[in-house]
């Protein structure tokens, strides 16, 4: 069953060329229409207008994809294919993506709103990830252990079988490479659900799978809503493992669905409200530069974004001035993600735009001071000015909860003990950062953070 192909010619500052992608579901090595004929409009967040319409799957399509993945694992993949062969296919796939880097980046910028240099860098990094995982394909092995005299035991690593992945909209293709690369390298087959908001690069990728030599059913891409396709994958009895990157709320639902179905293994990478600490011996100029990037990059739509900024009293004023100047300068470089000089694009959707604006309103109502930003940029698309709040307290809603937008809360502190207590006073634990020129303190504070990743 053939599906439609979306094609568009672009004449932009940073990209001049044609983008094209099949709009169907990719199941068992073919693009197909969904069983129930569902469709989803794909928007350009810079304009708020529809780019194209793609297929939207249902639980019936998930069943077909999982059946294809299960069959492929048993007949043409898994332990039947040597690791060296799997690695060669991944290398071929990486080369095919590399040949189309600019088109992938253009699709991502148009669909996601991220500036073109950033999407191009992310696709380039995805190519490197595929090559990295290709190198591991023939190096995953167990151990031999001497137990008692004349006896030994050995372990071996085996694939799960058919696995699933659900990826977010903030860095779609980069997240795809993180999920698909290791799954294929270790002999698993996979059903991947991209975000229904940003499916285009996943569908473009699907068009390269056969050319790279992968047997039908090894890779399946089923676009659709989380409440249908995502829920079906999480509860499917033949999916042996599921990996998810996204919101904490959805992560809880996936854990629950796993427990109620076949107790599939679950890997989750969820939300964050990362603290960043600036001590009074820090290089303020460097701190401003890196912290601005940490909170305003990708319009604040990064799970590890450093949104709670604690600054010691001695450098508080100079830091706030520096970050405010940085944010004001970004306002003059906000606009079309394809335009030269643009550094700040739109939020991903109207829903996310309204969510961020509601948190900004909450901060204002709670008495925090808006130093810069705090409002929409322009009248078209989903743009929000980089926003800086001061006079914040730990109990304010916008300080406690993940916003996923370009909103920074700056708070002052006096002592190391005080700031560590405040930094760790959160339900999240994804990341943290510290700026100081005292290496002993940097290490001490980094170790004291209750976070999975620490930057210093």
Give the C-alpha separation, 296 to 281, whole Å.
Answer: 24
375 CB neighbour count, 10 Å cutoff: 10
In whole angstroms, how far apart are CA 69 and each of 66, 200, 413?
A: 5, 22, 54
What's the CATH class of domain 275-455? alpha beta
pLDDT score for 1: 53
Q: Which of 405, 370, 392 is nearest to 273 (CA)?
A: 405
Give the C-alpha separation, 332 to 330, whole Å.
Answer: 5
pLDDT score for 426: 96
What are the backbone dihedrals phi and psi of residue 122, each rounded to the nearest 5 degrees, phi first?
A: -70, -40
Give the C-alpha separation, 343 to 116, whole Å.
Answer: 9
Contact 357, 376 (CB under 8 A): yes
For the chain, which residues make up each domain, given as ranges? 5-269, 275-455
Q: Whole-prediction pTM value? A: 0.95
Give the C-alpha separation, 226 to 230, whole Å.
Answer: 4
Annotation marks residue 122 as catalytic: no
pLDDT score for 78: 95
pLDDT score for 10: 97
Alpha helices per DSSP H over 76-113:
83-99, 101-112
Q: Who's near 87: CB < 8 A, 6+ residues apart?
A: 134, 135, 136, 137, 138, 185
Q: Which two tokens stand for residue 404?
A: 């996923």
One DSSP character per residue, 386-411 reads -EEEES--TTSHHHHS---SSEEEEE
Q: Which two tokens stand for residue 8?
A: 């568009």
Q: Residues 282, 286, 289, CA angle at the centre, nearest 5°?
A: 135
Contact 401, 370 (CB under 8 A): no
Q: Could you tell me the fold of the domain covering 5-269? A: Aldehyde Dehydrogenase; Chain A, domain 1 (3.40.605)
Tens-of-pLDDT digits for all 456 residues of the chain? 557 999 999 999 999 999 999 999 999 999 999 999 999 999 999 999 999 999 999 999 999 999 999 999 999 999 999 999 999 999 999 999 999 999 999 999 999 999 999 999 999 999 999 999 999 999 999 999 999 988 999 999 999 999 999 999 999 999 999 999 999 999 999 999 999 999 999 999 999 999 999 999 999 999 999 999 999 999 999 999 999 999 999 999 999 999 999 999 999 999 999 999 999 999 999 999 999 999 999 999 999 999 999 999 999 999 999 999 999 999 999 999 999 999 999 999 999 999 999 999 999 999 999 999 999 999 999 999 999 999 999 999 999 999 999 999 999 999 999 999 999 999 999 999 999 999 999 999 999 999 999 998
Q: Given the residues 36, 102, 196, 269, select the one marked as catalytic.
A: 269
Q: Which two tokens stand for residue 53?
A: 């319409």
Q: Residues 428, 160, 180, CA angle at the centre, nearest 5°?
A: 65
Give the C-alpha separation, 434 to 239, whole Å.
Answer: 41
């Amino acid at each position: 069953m053939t599906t439609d192909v979306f094609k568009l010619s672009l004449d932009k500052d940073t990209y001049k060329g044609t983008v094209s992608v099949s709009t169907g579901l990719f199941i068992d090595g073919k693009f197909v229409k969904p069983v129930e004929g569902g469709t989803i409009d794909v928007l350009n967040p810079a304009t708020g207008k529809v780019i194209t319409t793609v297929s939207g799957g249902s639980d019936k399509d998930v069943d077909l994809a999982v059946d294809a993945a299960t069959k492929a694992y048993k007949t043409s993949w898994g332990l039947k294919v040597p690791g060296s062969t799997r690695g060669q296919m991944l290398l071929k796939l990486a080369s095919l993506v590399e040949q189309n880097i600019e088109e992938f980046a253009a699709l991502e910028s148009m669909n996601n709103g991220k500036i073109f240099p950033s999407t191009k860098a992310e696709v380039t990094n995805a190519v490197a990830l595929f090559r990295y995982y290709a190198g591991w394909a023939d190096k995953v092995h167990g151990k031999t252990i001497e137990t008692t005299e004349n006896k030994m035991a050995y372990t071996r690593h085996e694939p799960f079988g058919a696995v699933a992945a659900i990826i977010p909209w903030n860095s779609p293709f980069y997240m795809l490479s993180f999920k698909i690369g290791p799954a294929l390298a270790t002999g698993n087959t996979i059903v991947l659900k991209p975000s229904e908001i940003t499916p285009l690069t996943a569908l473009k990728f699907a068009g390269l799978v056969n050319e790279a030599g992968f047997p039908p059913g090894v890779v399946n891409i089923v676009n659709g809503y989380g409440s249908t396709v995502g829920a079906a994958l999480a509860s499917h009895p033949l999916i042996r493992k599921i990996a998810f990157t996204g919101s904490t709320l959805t992560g809880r639902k996936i854990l629950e669905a796993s427990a109620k179905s076949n107790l599939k293994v679950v890997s989750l990478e969820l939300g964050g409200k990362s603290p960043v600490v600036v001590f009074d011996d820090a290089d303020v100029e460097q701190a401003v530069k890196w912290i601005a990037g940490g909170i305003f990059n990708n319009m604040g739509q990064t799970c590890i974004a450093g949104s709670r900024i604690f600054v010691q009293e001695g450098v508080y004023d100079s830091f706030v001035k520096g970050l405010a100047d940085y944010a004001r300068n970004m306002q003059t470089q906000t606009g079309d993600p394809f335009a030269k000089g643009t550094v700040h694009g739109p939020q991903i959707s109207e829903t996310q735009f309204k969510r961020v604006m509601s948190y900004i309103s909450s901060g204002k109502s709670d008495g925090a001071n808006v130093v810069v930003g705090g409002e929409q940029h322009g009248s078209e698309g989903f743009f929000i000015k980089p926003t800086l709040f001061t006079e914040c307290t730990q109990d304010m809603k916008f300080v406690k909860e993940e916003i996923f937008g370009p909103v920074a809360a700056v708070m002052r502190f006096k002592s190391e003990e005080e700031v560590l207590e405040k930094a760790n006073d959160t339900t999240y634990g994804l990341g943290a950062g510290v700026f100081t020129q005292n290496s002993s303190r940097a290490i001490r504070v980094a170790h004291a953070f209750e976070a999975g990743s620490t930057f210093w």
